[in-house]
Structure formats: C-alpha cells, structure tokens
Structure 1
Amino acid sequence: MVEESESLPGPSHRCLVVQGPQEARGRLDQRLAEVEAQQKTLQNIVTVLSREMGRREGARGSANRGSSNVLGEAMARILYLEEKVAKQDTLLALKDVMISNLGARVEALEHTSYNGQFLWRLPDVRRKMQQALSKQTPAIYSAPFYTARYGYKLCLKIYLNGDGTGAGTHISLFLVLMRGEYDFWLNWPFHLKVSLTLLDQVGKRHFSHAFQPSPASSSFQRPVSKYNIASGVPEFFPLCQLHAPGATYIHEDTLAFEAVIGDINL
C-alpha cells in the first residue's frame, strides 16, 4: 500500500519526527530523577519526623512517669501531714481537757478551807427551792472542806424544803463526813464540836445551832464510802421566817451558811 507513503512529509519534517522522542525521554528521565530525589527527600523527612516523634513520645513518657512520681510523693506528703495534723488536734483536745480539769481543781482548791471554818454561799435559791419542792433535787451538797491541812474531810448537805421531821416546814441542814486522803492518820470516831449558822447577809440576825457528835453514831465512824450518813438538824430554820417580810437571809437570790468545826480562833 502506498497510500501512507503518499502522506509522508518532506525531508525537513522527517528530522523533527526523529528528535521529538529523544527530547521527551530526556525530559522524562529528568522528571524521574527529580521525583526520585523528592521521594528520597520525603523519606528523609519522614525518617527525621519519625525519630523526632519517637524522641518526644519518650520524653513525654518520661515526663508522665516523672509527673506520676511527683504526684505520688505529693499525695504521700499530704497524707502524712493530714495524719500529723489529726494527731496534733487529738493532743490539743487532750490538753484542753487537762487544762480544764486542772482549772477546776485549782478553783476547788481556792475555795477549800483547811482550818475547820467553812463559808458556803448558795446561789439561785428561788429555782433550787422549786426543784426541792418538786423533789427534782431535794438535797444539795456543798464543796468539801477540812478541819486541818491533813484533817477530816467534810461537807454540808441541805434540804431547802426540809427532810424528816422538817419536811415542808423547815430548812434541814446536815454535816457529812467524807472519806479523806489522811483518814489513816486521824482518830476515830470523829468527836469535834459542830456549829452550823444561817447568816443574815444584811443585818445581824444570824441563826446558829451547835451539837456534839455521838461516838456511837455510824455518821462519825471512819468512812468506807465517799459519804457517811448525814447528821445534823432536820428542823434547822423555819421556812416561814426565811420568807418573812423584812427578812434578809436571802439576798440577791443567795443564801449563806457557816460551819465551824472544833474550837477555832475566829
């Protein structure tokens, strides 16, 4: 078939046909080289990035482990301090109790008599008389006192609405022998004279009653419990005279009594 030969270009065109593929191959090779170079560059970048990521992950892991250690140590320190504070609070509470008890003891010692003479001020009388009348608190004990520094330990006991033969009509006032620290040193039975006085706090109309203890009475034997049986005067003072117009035995809602044990110099 000659048909194609008829369409072949002239000599100048034949030269262009030969040079086109070579240039294209050259450009393709160049392009391939550039792509390969870029690929290597990308691979290097990826490798570098991978190493950096690995390093940072390792650093982050170390930091996390370090943070965990620091946090653990901090928590342990906090728990230790909380435990220490709790112990300190307990010690402070115990010290407060000890100080309170010591204060109460000091106050009691300040009001304790060691010479056989005892003054007893009984406040809030109106309320206490109501409690005695309702039998809520029929009797009230005074603070202890002593006949000497190493003597007998005593207290007073009062029934504001009376007791026994004085119930409802009189104040009943008694002496109570208490078990003391130096009972082993003392003579028994108790034998000292007892004088009890209701004091007129404004005037001079004091009222007294004295008695000599009976050696046969169990009230004056050496105590085997905290209190011996009280002994005294059931009909000590009439309630009608206590509340009589012009009477000043109750002053500022307070009664005052004096106990004198034995012969002492006043």
Structure 2
Amino acid sequence: MLRTFRPGQRCEVWIASVTGERELVFTSNDVLLEAPNWTLDGRSLVLNGDGALWRVDLGSRTLSQVPLTGIPDLNNDHVLAPDGNNIFLSANDGHIYRAALSGGRATRLTEDDGSFHFLHGVSPDGKELAYVGIESGDFTQPGRLMTIPSDGGASSRVDVGGGHCDGPEYSPDGQWLYLNTESFTSRPGHAQLARVRVDGSGFERLLESATVDWFPHLSPDGELASYIRFPGGTEGHPADLPVDVVLVSTGDWTAPLHAWPLFGGQGTLNVNSWSPDSTRFAYVAYPVS
C-alpha cells in the first residue's frame, strides 16, 4: 500500500552540511517524497513518491517524474549505479529492478525464490548488490543480509546473526557492508549499527546506545557517516516520530559531530543521500501543521 500524508502534513527535503548548517530545498503537500539519492553530477536529488520515481533539480528547485515502464509501484529502497546513469530499484512486488536514470523500461533482476528483496547497496565496482531478504514477505520473520550479482543470478547470504537486519550498504573501498541489526539484543527492536566484511568475517558493533539506530550511510570519501536515531524502544523504523539525523566521523561513531531533530522516520534517510563531494547529504522531514 502506498504511503499517504496525514491531515495537515507535508514533506520537506533538506540538505545538511558537514559544518552543521541545513537548507530547505523543496516542500510538497501533494507528493509524499522519500529517501533521497544524490546524482553523480551533483545537480539533482532522486526520490520516490506515490509509487513513482522523481527528480528534484537543485538549481531550479523543481520536481519532475522519471518516466519508468515495466515496473510496479516503487518503495523507498533505491540506489544509484556507480556509473551515474542507471538506478537500482525495489518495487512493491518484492523484486529488484534496474533502469536508466533518464527513464525507460526497467529490467527485473531477482528471481521468484520465495523471498521479498529490499535493495540497499551497490558495490563500488557496480558488480554486486546488497539487499535484505524476507522469506515469503512475512514481516514477522527477520530480514537476512543477502548479496546478488548486479545483472541478476544466484543470491548469497552473509551471516550477521539471528536478529533482524536492514540497510546493508558497501563501504567506498568495497571491503565492508554497513548495516543496522537486532542481533546484539534479545529485546524486541533496539536496532544498533554494525559492519561486516563482504566475505562474512569481522562482524562488529559500531555503537552501543540506548536509542534505536538505523541506516548508516558513509560519505563517498569514507570519512563521515549519517544515520537516523529513533527513540529507545522503537520497533522497526516507523513513520511520524520525533527522530534525529546524526552525523559522525567513521573514526568515532560514539561522538556525534552534529544532530538535526525532526518529525519523520520512515522515508527520512533510508538510502545513501551523500553529495559526490562528501560535504553535504539530504534527508526528508514530515512535519504536521
């Protein structure tokens, strides 16, 4: 089911600077936009909304739809290919697709293997995708960290314990997958940030906190990371909560450099939204008047 606005709600697309400033770049109470990606040329943000793909031009501050065919309604799991010309997309049928960023017909990459596939990462060389697999689309079951060739084919599991995981994303050097996981606790929810080498070794917790932490995104230079912080006790990553978007150095995840409070959650920061020059990143807030 497509997400819709609450009465009096709007979406606000913001750009945060690594120096702590932020700028509102687009507002809509018509299309509920989610999960920005930053294009490789630095000129646009790509987001989903109403089941479609959209582009916000940062020069003109205008919104236009990317004309895609051959794909069901989209969700908020999408990542740009390293070539800057293509995009990988998750759709509400549980499959992953590839399409040109300029639009056109999409190609399905995943097979009918009994699982839903939620894309989150593409390797720096563009050859592999990381996704969360949920068996039979049963959301009472934990998500599993999976990888698949970017042209399709057989999937492989990366073991990160028995807890639910989400948001797997490759480090800029391609050596690690960064994610959030519930494998460090027996309590419901309480996702924490972690990483694991792509070969499945070296699984480690990055930060021990009383909050519920999701979706770590590394800057292209690998020096910084953003993530979203939910209140303690939150199960999953729901919409419409008071949350914080947090900036840290990858050398010390325990000491936030900046934090931006907002009303949001789901859709705010689901995928990597860093600018190509590693100086800014985008996120979405959903205030209610």
Fold similarity call, TM over 0.5: no
TM-score by length of 2: 0.22
Question: Which of structures 1 and 2 has the bigger CA Rg?
Answer: 1
More helix as a share of residues: 1
